[in-house]
Amino acid sequence: MSAPSSHAHAAAHDDSHDVSKYQIYVQIAMLLAVITGVEIIGVYLPFAKWLIITMLVVLSTVKFMFVIFYFMHLRWDKPFCTILFFIGLVLAGGTMWALLTLFAVEASLPLPTS
């Protein structure tokens, strides 16, 4: 007799867990919208260019972390999957940097002829 009541309790617990996850998703979406608004407004503020770029990079990194850990579910995934994700991210970033360096404007200019 105790098994059905514990099963009902587990089902009720799962529902509340889903609701709390839903609330977390909505709160994070609102936070991401606010951060995006700050980024848009920040571009038009009369500050030094390096300060604006630093602010944009930091805010974009925060948004990226929220998206990968919550909306891509890395927070609840195994640590191995998170490590694999970041290894791929580093490889992709390194490849992008290498290609941008390789095909920079200076590299594509024709050589001077004598």
- pLDDT for 60-70, tens place per residue? 999 999 998 88
pLDDT in tens, 48-105: 999 999 999 999 999 999 998 888 888 888 889 889 999 999 999 999 999 988 888 7
Supply 56's token pair: 């944009």
- Which SS3 state, helix, strand or coil, does residue 107 take? helix
Do 84 and 61 reside in the same domain of the chain? no
Do 46 and 89 reside in the same domain of the chain? no
Do 66 and 11 reside in the same domain of the chain? yes
Do 66 and 88 reside in the same domain of the chain? no
Per-residue pLDDT for 13 more than 60? no
pLDDT (0 to 100) of residue 4: 52
Domain housing 15? 1-75
Closest C-alpha to 63, from 81, 40, 46, 45:
40
pLDDT (0 to 100) of residue 7: 52
> Which residue in the block uniquely carries the two structure tokens 């007799």?
1
pLDDT (0 to 100) of residue 97: 94
pLDDT (0 to 100) of residue 14: 53
The residue count of the chain comes to 114
Do 86 and 70 reside in the same domain of the chain? no
**Between helices 2-43 and 49-66, what is the axis angle to 10°?**
160
Domain tally, the chain: 2
**Measured between alpha carbons, how far is 78 from 85 in angstroms, rounded to an integer?**
11
Do 93 and 68 reside in the same domain of the chain? no
Do 64 and 105 reside in the same domain of the chain? no
Question: Between 54 and 13, where is the model more confident?
Answer: 54
Do 54 and 92 reside in the same domain of the chain? no
Catalogue the long-range contacts made by 58-66 (C-beta closer than 8 Å, 24 or more residues apart).
Answer: 59/35, 62/35, 63/32, 63/35, 63/36, 66/28, 66/31, 66/32
Do 71 and 82 reside in the same domain of the chain? no
pLDDT (0 to 100) of residue 47: 92
pLDDT (0 to 100) of residue 95: 97
